């Protein structure tokens, strides 16, 4: 698996941390698919020091019985889509929250329990990150390039995928994709979780991306919707504050909002031909 640095976002993601998270998500999909086919995905992260864009080599080997849990997650891959609409009232069962926490831990990341005070602090940091980004003309220029695209675009966030904006969302500020405000006034409080890693190296980030995808697919399999709240992790000073809020031991990698939303149109996918290439000798060996 290679990264495609041409599609990085140099302002919002200056150190390509989110690029690694995104590739980690794709890597988890590959691993889950291989498991679902009844093989073991032997995975080496960053196999070559001299090739920074070669992120992983995955070799399927040794047929074995498919793991039913991973079959379920692989099945959820095409159904997982970001849902930015208001989420319904009604809490998420404790057993599902435990499954989400377990999904992060299996992938060597952490989904900490946040108390009321930490949630309040996180809400403020989302505001802080959001407004810092809106005050940055370079961010706004990049944002305009990446979002609001028409139906023919196979990349970025198209207009129609934004959905209606929650009008309250329990005080959690979401990015405004320019869609009309159609949210209900009594939007419930969504479940907001942070995925953290124990260190912040490129390996940790790639692992955190796999954890993020495992959490998202576990949520999809449980009938939940999800969206991202990345403002506090995209502004380095705010991310440092969030790290302190979590106790100073974990590196916050991504913030997710979970619940049950209205159906949304799905974003397009790039064609297979666009994302596959001939394996290099290393990949083929
Ligand atoms: C690391 C990462 C951060 C993201 N941050 C945000 C965000 O802050 N706000 C948002 O609306 N979507 C965010 N997204 C969602 C992407 O825009 C979305 O995944 C992408 O457009 C593909 O659409 P899909 O999730 O529906 O497949 C993020 C995605 C990733 C992988």
For 174-187, the DSSP string reads ----S------TTP
| 230 alpha carbon – ligand 1 mean position (Å) | 8
The DSSP call for residue 164 is P
Are 104 and 110 a contacting pair, CB within 8 Å? yes
* Pairwise CA distance, residues 244 & 250, whole Å: 9
Q: Kindly tell me the sign of the dihedral angle through the C-alpha atoms of 178, 184, 185, 187.
A: negative
Give the list of residues 6+ apart from residue 217 with CB closer than 8 angstroms, or none.
28, 32, 73, 76, 77, 80, 103
* Residue 254 lies inside a defined structural domain of this protein: yes
* Residue 48 lies inside a defined structural domain of this protein: no
Q: What is the pLDDT along the chain (285 residues), one digit of tens a residue?
A: 999 999 999 999 999 999 999 999 999 999 999 999 999 999 999 999 999 999 999 999 988 888 899 999 999 999 999 999 889 877 899 999 999 999 999 999 999 999 999 999 999 999 999 999 999 999 999 999 888 777 777 778 887 777 777 777 778 888 877 665 555 545 567 899 999 999 999 999 999 999 999 999 999 999 999 999 999 999 999 999 999 999 999 999 999 999 999 888 888 888 889 999 886 665 444
Specify the pLDDT at position 185. 45
CATH number at residue 91: 3.40.109.10
- Strand intervals (E) in 133-200: 147-149, 157-158, 191-197
* Residue 189 lies inside a defined structural domain of this protein: yes
Specify the pLDDT at position 280. 65
* Residue to mutate, 125, 230, 231, 266, ligand 1, most ligand atoms under 8 Å from C-beta: 230
For residue 230, the enclosing domain spans 82-284
* Pairwise CA distance, residues 185 & 177, whole Å: 19
* Residue 121 lies inside a defined structural domain of this protein: yes
Are 258 and 217 a contacting pair, CB within 8 Å? no
Query: Under DSSP, is residue 40 helix (H, G, I), strand (E, B) or coil?
Result: strand
Using alpha carbons, select from 27, 19, 70, 63 the residue that is nearest to residue 45. Answer: 27
* Residue to mutate, 15, 26, 82, 233, ligand 1, most ligand atoms under 8 Å from C-beta: 82
* 92 in contact with ligand 1, CB cutoff 6 A: no
* 233 in contact with ligand 1, CB cutoff 6 A: no
* Residue 196 lies inside a defined structural domain of this protein: yes
* Residue 104 lies inside a defined structural domain of this protein: yes
Q: Kindly tell me the sign of the dihedral angle through the C-alpha atoms of 145, 269, 265, 210.
A: negative
Residue whose CA is at the smallest distance from ligand 1 atom 17: 157
* Residue 40 lies inside a defined structural domain of this protein: no
Residue whose CA is at the smallest distance from ligand 1 atom 14: 228
Specify the pLDDT at position 184. 57
* 253 in contact with ligand 1, CB cutoff 6 A: no
| 82 alpha carbon – ligand 1 mean position (Å) | 7
Residue whose CA is at the smallest distance from ligand 1 atom 8: 230
CA 228 vs. chain centroid, Å, equals 6
* Pairwise CA distance, residues 262 & 166, whole Å: 11
Report the nearest atom of ligand 1 relative to the CA of 84.
Answer: 11
For 52-109, the DSSP string reads TTB-EEEEEES--PPPHHHHHHHHHGGG--B--SPPPSSPPPHHHHHHHHHHHHHTT-
Element (H, E) at 220: helix 202-221
* 157 in contact with ligand 1, CB cutoff 6 A: yes
* 220 in contact with ligand 1, CB cutoff 6 A: no
* Residue 51 lies inside a defined structural domain of this protein: no
Overall domain count for the chain? 1
Specify the pLDDT at position 100. 98
Specify the pLDDT at position 67. 87
Are 12 and 234 a contacting pair, CB within 8 Å? yes
* 22 in contact with ligand 1, CB cutoff 6 A: yes
| 117 alpha carbon – ligand 1 mean position (Å) | 27
For 66, phi then psi, to 5°, come to: -60, 140
């Amino acid at each position: 698996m290679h990264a495609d640095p041409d599609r990085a976002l140099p302002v919002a993601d200056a150190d390509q941390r989110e690029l690694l998270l995104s590739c980690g998500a794709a890597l988890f999909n590959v691993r889950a698919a291989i498991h679902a086919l009844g093989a073991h995905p032997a995975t080496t992260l960053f196999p070559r020091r001299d090739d920074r864009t070669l992120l992983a080599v995955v070799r399927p080997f040794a047929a074995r019985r498919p793991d039913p849990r991973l079959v379920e997650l692989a099945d959820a891959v095409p159904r997982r889509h970001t849902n930015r609409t208001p989420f319904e009232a009604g809490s998420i069962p404790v057993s599902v929250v435990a499954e989400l926490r377990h999904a992060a831990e299996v992938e060597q990341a952490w989904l900490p329990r946040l108390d009321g005070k930490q949630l309040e602090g996180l809400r403020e940091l989302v505001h802080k990150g959001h407004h810092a980004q809106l005050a940055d003309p370079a961010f706004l220029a990049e944002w305009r390039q990446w979002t609001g695209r028409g139906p023919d675009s196979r990349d970025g966030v198209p207009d129609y995928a934004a959905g209606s904006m929650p009008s309250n969302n329990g005080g959690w500020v979401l990015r405004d994709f320019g869609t009309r405000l159609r949210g209900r006034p009594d939007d419930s409080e969504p479940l907001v979780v942070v995925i953290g890693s124990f260190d912040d190296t490129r390996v940790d980030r790639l692992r955190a991306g796999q954890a993020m995808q495992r959490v998202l697919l576990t949520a999809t399999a449980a009938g939940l919707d999800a969206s991202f709240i990345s403002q506090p992790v995209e502004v380095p000073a705010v991310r440092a504050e969030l790290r302190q809020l979590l106790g100073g031991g974990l590196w916050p990698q991504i913030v997710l909002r979970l619940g049950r939303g209205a159906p949304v149109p799905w974003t397009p996918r790039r064609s297979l031909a666009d994302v596959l290439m001939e394996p290099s000798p290393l990949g083929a060996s």
